Structure 1
Amino acid sequence: MGQVTIDDVAKAAGVSTFTVSRALRGKDHVAAKTREKVLRAAKELNYTVSRSAAALASGRTNRIALLARERIAGWFMGELFDGLYDVLSQAQYDLTVYRAGSVEERSEFFTRLPANRNADALIVSGFSATDEEADTLAGMGMPIVSVNSPYISCCQASVAIDDEAAEAMAVRYLAALGHRRFCYVGRVDPLTGTAWGFDARARGYKDEIASLGLTDCGIHCIDLWDPQSARQTVATILAQPRLQRPTAICVWSDYYALRVIHELHAAGIRIPEEMSVFGFDGSDVADAIGLSTMVPTSPREIGRIAARKTLDLVAGHTPDEPHTTVPVAIQPAATSAPVRE
């Protein structure tokens, strides 16, 4: 038997092709018994709706595009994908992923605009559009939803963590435990330049240190692609005179904190007796090693929120809360304690 067509389904169900189309796409004004008859015939004939045909009929592709800055294999992106899929799959939408992991990839996306006419909406994760890019996105004529971007002028909806406020909260908590000397360990960002934004967590750290009159013992960066980077960073911190060393280290993420803790243990530093370490993300790593960390709403839930906002916009509705800042909580654990000097 050749490829099954909508005509075959209509003939088997004893209805018109128009009725088959409406029934299979879940449209109104189809009697329940008729819909059941059509679905049964489609199943028996192993017929599936052509996405391209559905797009021509409805003007929609039933596809959402995601432009992501972070590594696709990273923990955050994996959780975010799951959350997006949870919602989009239920609405029978596909997710197409584009990566902007380098200046070249980002330029390629905004030059070719592969999502244009191939998606009903675009979700941008991890960075802000420049003025020129914002104009380009506006010209695509589709809803734009931002995830974790401080600038949302070109977006109709957004969901984000307030990284500055969250990192400031971590500093205040450690200061309440008596810590007065701090340092911050961030990441070496391969995507430099003002167009990619800034490390909001580092800025929150610096501002709160200054506000509380604490001592900043330095901001350091780790390159996870360099096997010696974490060791060299921790050695630099420990090379300071003992009474000028930090007693508390705030780290950009839980995975980076794991590297820092490993190197501190290797150097014979007792945690938290001699030095407290605080991560960020509330990831599976934090639970596994008892890491004190800042816990925002899970990336999976952030993905669900972003997906629901996207579907609202595609349907022509304004989300009840267009721009959402997710809550953050302190999760003390084994790697932080009152200062002992």
Structure 2
Amino acid sequence: MKKKATIADVAKLANVSTFTASRALQNKPNVAATTQQRVIEAAKSLNYTASKAAAALASGKTDRIALLLGDQLTGWSNGNLQDGVYDVLSPKGYDLLVYRAGNDDERKKYFANLPANRNADGLIASFTLNSEESNALTTMGMPIISVNSDSDTCCQGSVKIDDRQALKDVVGYLAGLGHKRFCFIDQENLLPDYEWSSDKRILGYQDAIAERHLTDCGIFVMPKNGERPARQIIARLLSMENPPTAICTLSDDCALATCTELIHNGISIPQQVSVIGFDSSNVSELTGISSVSQPLRKIGQIAAQKLLTLLNGQDLSEPHTLIPAPIVPRNTTGRAPLA
């Protein structure tokens, strides 16, 4: 079996020191372009593969960033967040380690194994951490950025939208279209021990209804899964003497299920009822559902850039960034029907 090439072999072939060869292959600064090209060609000819583990031992840096996600990895929200983080990290030579805390057991396991998880230079956390978890992360001595959470005690920076204000804006928008009777459709939380930023949307809805003296026809909870999950809720709404003319929902998925059930019952949207979702995901874009824009890819990019700034030993000019969440009117909202 042919002996595996070492960095010393690459350096010898390129006629440079091992230090220069290492820096050239890691795309470090202060290496001449011609020298770097010579080292790269030498490495290719020797079929040399750099070991990140060895580099980490030598430099104390892993060139890895950990991303801690709640819920499933493949959903629209987490998928766009990962893309945004990767957009920034990959060109800088960083690898992305994704940890899923998709249930209580996975969450407990991550924090129980935290010392072993110190195989990254920094962390981006995407849900609100409890005090015990925050304290555990603080002892790790790594920079941490939170996304759409209130975990400020252990984090040097954060990026989020104002979910509560966003729903107040939604109610104001619909009230401006003449709507006076509202309801809010929430979604079943299969992880009750988790605190999500989206939990605040219902509070914003309640704030706006009270402040504007509008009629709240009720707050309903839609099942997370199942066929026609909005069936029972829409049946209750249609049985009311004065049903709502405006339906606010927790997410685009909720809005789509709501619209589907209304149409199934012969209700015209938005002529009889206006429906609005949240996220402005591909669901709302493809179906024409009005929504609130939550630019999670951009949020991921900003979070990753903040982390890189900290890793470069620089202070954040804006530690905590609040991203606008504008309303995107489409086909499911319109003027209130005449009473």
- TM-score tier by shorter-chain length is over 0.9
Q: Is the 8 A contact 1:251 1:279 kept in 2?
A: yes
Give, in whole Å, the separation in 1 of the partners of 2:33 and 2:102: 48
Write the mapping of 1:243-282 to structure 2, written as runs, cut at 5 A. 243=242, 245-282=243-280
TM superposition shift of 1:28:
4.0
2:146 aligns to what?
A: 146
The one-letter code matched in structure 1 to 2:264 is A
| Structure 1: unaligned runs, 5 residues or longer | none
CA distance in 2, matches of 1:28, 1:277: 53
Instruction: Give the CA deviation at 1:265.
Output: 0.5
Superimposed CA distance per residue, residues 53-110 of structure 1 (whole angstroms, 9 cap, x where no aligned partner) = 1101211111111111132111111111111111111111111111112122111111
Conserved in 2, the CA contact under 8 Å of 1:116 and 1:140?
no
What SS does the corresponding residue of 1:67 show, helix, strand or coil?
strand
1:327 equivalenced with 2:327 (yes/no)? no
Partners of 2:236 and 2:150 lie apart in 1 by: 32
Mapping of residues 158-237 of structure 1, within 5 Å: 158-193=158-193, 199-237=199-237
C-alpha contact (below 8 Å) 2:134/2:151 kept by paired residues? no
**Per the alignment, in what secondary structure is the counterpart of residue 64 of structure 1?**
strand
- 1:266 shift after superposition: 0.5
Contact persistence 1:128–1:152 (CA under 8 A): no
Indicate how the Cα distance of structure 1 residues 309 and 115 shifts in structure 2: closer, same or farther if over 3 A, else same: farther
Please say which of residues 21-30 and 252-261 is displaced more in the overlay: 21-30
Give the structure-1-normalised TM-score.
Answer: 0.94
User: Over the residues paired in the alignment, what is the CA RMSD in angstroms?
Assistant: 1.7
Contact 1:65/1:115 (8 A) holds in 2: no
Paired amino acid for 2:163:
D
C-alpha change, 1:175 and 1:28, in structure 2 (3 Å) is closer
1:129–1:238 CA distance, 2 compared to 1 (3 A): same
- Residue number in structure 2 paired with 1:155: 155
Partner residue in 2 for 1:318: 315
Q: Distance in 2 between matches of 1:264 and 1:48?
A: 59
Q: Which residue in the other structure is 2:79 paired with?
A: 78
User: Is 2:96 aligned against 1:95?
Assistant: yes
> Equivalent pairs: percent with the same residue?
50
Number of equivalences: 337
> Bigger CA drift: 44-53 or 169-178?
44-53
CA displacement at 1:198 relative to structure 2: 6.9
Seen in structure 2, the aligned counterparts of structure 1 residues 230 and 52 have a Cα distance that, compared at 3 Å, is same
Letter in 1 for 2:9: D
Q: Quick one: structure 1 residues 227 and 57, their matched pair in 2 at CA, closer, same or farther if it must change by over 3 Å?
A: same
Distance 1:100 1:315 in 2: 28
Residue 12 (structure 1) shift: 1.0
1:46 aligns with 2:50: no
Deviates more, 1:151-160 or 1:25-34: 25-34
Q: Structure 1 residue 197: deviation in Å?
A: 7.0
Describe the shift of the 1:9–1:60 C-alpha distance in structure 2 as closer, same or farther (beyond 3 A). same
Q: Which amino acid aligns with 2:235?
A: A
Q: Does 1:135 align with 2:132?
A: no
